[in-house]
């Protein structure tokens, strides 16, 4: 999961005015929150741009999917927050919708889930700032670092011995369906590609200093491949960067990461 800077989302004054009007209708019981879907759908292109077309939760890019504007706090549980754009997240189908994990048979996906570590559910915007929620929020810089991955592409908790941080990571993996076999396999294949590029580049690193243009071109090609997969717009780029960091005992990898 890569941090998303939601401050860059800047809806037009017209959208904000219409959203306030619709929210008032929801608050007064004139309409149900779900009937205002056209409002948040208008912002989908802007939300999508913030992550270079990637799901904010799993970093996958599903070009064939409609994807969705997810409400981080579900509109069914927090109708008063239904049209606040700070509650919108761009999500793929597997993260946003309830689906069965084909490997475990368990139901996963966010749906209308919003579990709390403790305390009561927020009833207004002010209480939202003190709500003790579980799910990792891609818009919170302190949250995204709670996730980690194995070389096989499996998601795991970054801090397994810290009770609440561990629980937030483990539960988020389930609710966001981050362990779906397709995602795991995509990460695993990416790790193998990175290993091959690193080993191939490493094998010609010293000869590359001898001035042979063919070797120099080959070395640059491998490094370019690595640079592309750790770039912010690449699918699974946070996972890729973690894999590349595993090779930073090579000087040229260390330099590459410093400049990424």
Both tokens assigned to 136: 């990792």
| Distance from C-alpha of 239 to C-alpha of 145, rounded to nearest angstrom | 11
Radius of gyration of the chain from its Cα atoms, rounded to whole angstroms:
21
Query: What would the pLDDT profile of 27-36 be if each residue is shown by its tens digit?
Result: 999 999 999 9
Looking at residue 66, its pLDDT comes to: 64
Q: What is the DSSP string of 172-193?
A: HHHHTTTT-HHHHHHHHHHHHH
Read off the DSSP letter of residue 65.
Answer: S
Residue-level pLDDT, tens digit, the chain, 260 residues: 999 999 999 999 999 999 999 999 999 999 999 999 999 999 999 999 999 999 999 999 875 456 789 999 999 999 999 999 999 999 998 898 877 787 787 877 898 999 999 999 999 988 998 999 999 999 999 999 999 999 999 999 999 999 999 999 999 999 999 999 999 999 999 999 999 999 999 999 887 777 788 999 999 999 999 999 999 999 999 999 999 999 999 989 999 998 87
Token pair of 197, please?
């590029």
**CA 205 – CA 25 distance, rounded (Å):** 65
- Per-residue pLDDT at 10: 95
pTM reported for the whole predicted model: 0.91
> What phi-psi label fits residue 140: left (phi over 0), alpha (psi between -120 and 50 degrees) or beta?
beta
Average pLDDT, the chain: 93
pLDDT of residue 62: 72
For residue 252, give the DSSP letter: H
The 10s digit of each residue's pLDDT in 133-167 is 999 999 999 999 999 999 999 999 999 999 999 99
d(CA 81, CA 258): 40
Q: What is the pLDDT of residue 122?
A: 95
CB-based contacts of 96: which residues, under 8 Å, 6+ apart?
Answer: 67, 68, 70, 109, 110, 111
């Amino acid at each position: 999961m890569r941090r998303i800077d939601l401050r860059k989302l800047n809806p037009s004054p017209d959208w904000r005015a219409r959203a306030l009007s619709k929210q008032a209708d929801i608050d007064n019981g004139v309409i149900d929150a779900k009937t205002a879907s056209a409002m948040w759908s208008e912002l989908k292109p802007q939300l999508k741009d913030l992550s270079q077309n990637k799901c904010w939760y799993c970093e996958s890019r599903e070009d064939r999917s409609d994807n969705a504007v997810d409400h981080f706090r579900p509109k069914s549980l927090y109708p008063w927050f239904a049209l606040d754009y700070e509650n919108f997240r761009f999500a793929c189908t597997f993260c946003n919708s309830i689906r069965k994990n084909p490997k475990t048979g368990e139901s996963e996906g966010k749906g209308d889930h919003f579990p709390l570590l403790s305390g009561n559910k927020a009833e207004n915007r002010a209480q939202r700032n003190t709500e003790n929620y579980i799910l990792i929020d891609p818009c919170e810089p302190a949250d995204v670092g709670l996730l980690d991955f194995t070389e096989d592409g499996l998601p795991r908790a970054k801090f397994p011995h810290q009770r609440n941080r561990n629980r937030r990571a483990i539960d988020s993996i389930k609710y966001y369906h981050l362990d779906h076999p397709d995602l795991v396999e995509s990460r695993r294949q990416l790790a193998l590609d990175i290993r091959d590029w690193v080993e191939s580049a490493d094998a010609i690193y010293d000869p590359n200093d001898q001035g042979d243009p063919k070797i120099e071109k080959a070395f640059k090609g491998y490094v370019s491949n690595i640079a592309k997969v750790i770039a912010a717009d690449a699918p699974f780029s946070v996972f890729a960067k973690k894999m590349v960091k595993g090779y930073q005992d090579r000087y040229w990898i260390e330099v590459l990461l410093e400049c990424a």
